[in-house]
Amino acid sequence: MKKKLNIVWLKRDLRTTDHQPLFEAEKAKTDYIIVYLFEPKIINFSDSSLRHQQFIYHSILEINRSLKKYRRKVHIFKSDANAFFEHITSIYQINIIFSYQETGINITWYRDKKLHKTLISKNIKWVEFENQGVCRGIDNRINWDKNWFTYVNSQVINNVFTVNNFDLDYKKFQFCIDDFSNYKNYNTYYQPAGELFAKKYLSSFINKRFINYNNHISIPEKSRYSCSRLSTYLSWGNLSMRYVYQSIKNSRNYLLNKRPFDSFLARLKWRSHFIQKFEVDCSYEHTCINSGYEKLIYPNNDIYLESWISAKTGFPIIDACMNCLKKTGWLNFRMRAMLVSFLCHYLEQDWRRGVHHLSKFFLDYEPGIHFTQFQMQAGVTGINSIRVYNPIKQSKEKDPDSIFIKKWVPELAKINNSLLHEPWKLTKIDLSGEKIPKHYINPIISPELKRTQTVKNLWSFRKYKYVKEESNRILKVHVRPRKLS
């Protein structure tokens, strides 16, 4: 007789607080194990990077430290999900697999569909729970707001763990950290991984950092402190949306400072809103959601693209943002939008040529946010304003003293502040013997930043009948909702 066993499969829910799959596994009164799979196809896909995998690994280490007293841990495997579950069912009698639904890219969605068929054939129940207030299988957003508020105001789960007396005897697919030694060396420039640090960041935001949330939200350097900095922890599930919402609403500071906190909570809802859009139509990953824009032709200059990726455009604020992002994994929203706008509207690149470069750099990469926002800033939705961010204007307004530029483009650190926004205007007297990279004297494109043909085309396309029809479809109804069966 095979030993009966349930499994909790972790994905983007790396925590032990307010975790429904863990709660239900405990309630089932059957021995269970917790697993995480580093799936080769997923970790090698073009949207993934080492920093993501490091964050995941160190988040798991944190979980294991907290569960050690219960003789429990997250068992890590390196395997395709279907292969893993196929094989472990030959060793154990798996009754139920508990997990959260994942609003991921196509590769994870097709994995789930394949696994669903496999588990049905083996008479194994897979119980998936809704995550972050995002609903699966809907084809419109009627009552979505109401459902979201119902979720965030519902009872936070108090996870209680029993002492484990089951020893897993399963060696196949086991993850060996010695084979992934680069996972160990977590960059100290990144936000620290794990649930413990997530709660510390939440606490510091509620108790102190919220004060200038609204005032500094668009300022690249100051926002690093005054913004919540919870996006990474939400993206990888170190915190649940509900836990964050209620921690803020129930805090004493909320009653005394509603304005900044309500601004943050509105963005928290906005976050789920965009993930919901991706949930019901994941073609955002590779296709213009308004298919009329598929006919738009971009010049797609490879030299321009490389200058953007390598932070050598010659526009200090653009290069500073890219250097900062590469080093730390985080930028505020305004600077992210400006990077995409500069790529698509001034360098005239198809958004798909840059979308995976940024997904790899963002430590808080969340597919439902990333692809929907990228298309929105690229101006190809047909329903949003076409936002063209002038980097010189943004630089002067958001970094007037060039604090951010000097920090992240050290080659310009000794130049007079007022001249840093437009270094191509520097004279030999201004430089005072200082040498700066040539691309700041001759930027990749003309600093006059005239309206490009691509921007003109984006506006003219909005008048086309097919683009208008697509815009109406997008506004009225969602299509192609995800359903496993």
Same domain (yes/no): 109, 221: no
List the CATH number of the domain containing 109.
3.40.50.620
Q: What is the DSSP string of 200-221?
A: HHHHHHHHTGGGGHHHHTT-TT
Tell me what pLDDT residue 482 has.
65
Residue 378 in contact with residue 370, Cβ under 8 Å? no
Residue 308 CB-density burial (10 A; 0-12 exposed, 13-18 middle, 19+ buried): buried
Same domain (yes/no): 376, 471: yes
> Which ranges constitute the DSSP H helices of 257-344?
258-280, 302-309, 316-328, 333-341
What amino acid is encoded at 217 in this protein?
A: I
Select from 307, 362, 352 the least CA-distant residue to 332.
Answer: 362
* Residue 180 lies inside a defined structural domain of this protein: no
The span from the CA of 100 to the CA of 36, in Å, is 13
In this structure, the strands spanning 93-100 and 125-129 are parallel
* Residue 464 lies inside a defined structural domain of this protein: yes
Tell me what pLDDT residue 483 has.
66
Tell me what pLDDT residue 473 has.
87
The domain in which residue 421 lies consists of 285-476
Same domain (yes/no): 471, 395: yes
Tell me what pLDDT residue 433 has.
79
* Residue 185 lies inside a defined structural domain of this protein: no
Same domain (yes/no): 256, 306: no
Same domain (yes/no): 304, 409: yes
Q: Mind listing the pLDDT tens digit for each residue in 199-224? A: 999 999 999 999 999 999 999 999 99
Q: Mind listing the pLDDT tens digit for each residue in 384-401? A: 999 999 999 999 999 999
Mean pLDDT of the chain: 95
The span from the CA of 347 to the CA of 446, in Å, is 10
Distances (CA, A) of 475 to 238, 301, 351, 461, 479: 33, 33, 22, 17, 11
3-state secondary structure of 171: coil
Residue 103 CB-density burial (10 A; 0-12 exposed, 13-18 middle, 19+ buried): buried
* Residue 143 lies inside a defined structural domain of this protein: no
* Residue 35 lies inside a defined structural domain of this protein: yes
The span from the CA of 26 to the CA of 39, in Å, is 26
Phi-psi region of 29 (alpha: psi -120 to 50; beta: other; left: phi over 0): left
Choose one of 218, 252, 280: the last residue of a domain: 280
The span from the CA of 60 to the CA of 58, in Å, is 5
Stretches in the chain below the pLDDT threshold 50: 478
Same domain (yes/no): 303, 267: no
The span from the CA of 222 to the CA of 92, in Å, is 53
The span from the CA of 481 to the CA of 478, in Å, is 7
Select from 99, 3, 106, 84 the least CA-distant residue to 38.
Answer: 84
Return all residues near 282 (Cβ < 8 A) that are at least 6 apart: 103, 104, 105, 106, 109, 367, 480, 482
Tell me what pLDDT residue 1 has.
80
Choose one of 104, 129, 154: the last residue of a domain: 129
Domain count, the chain: 3
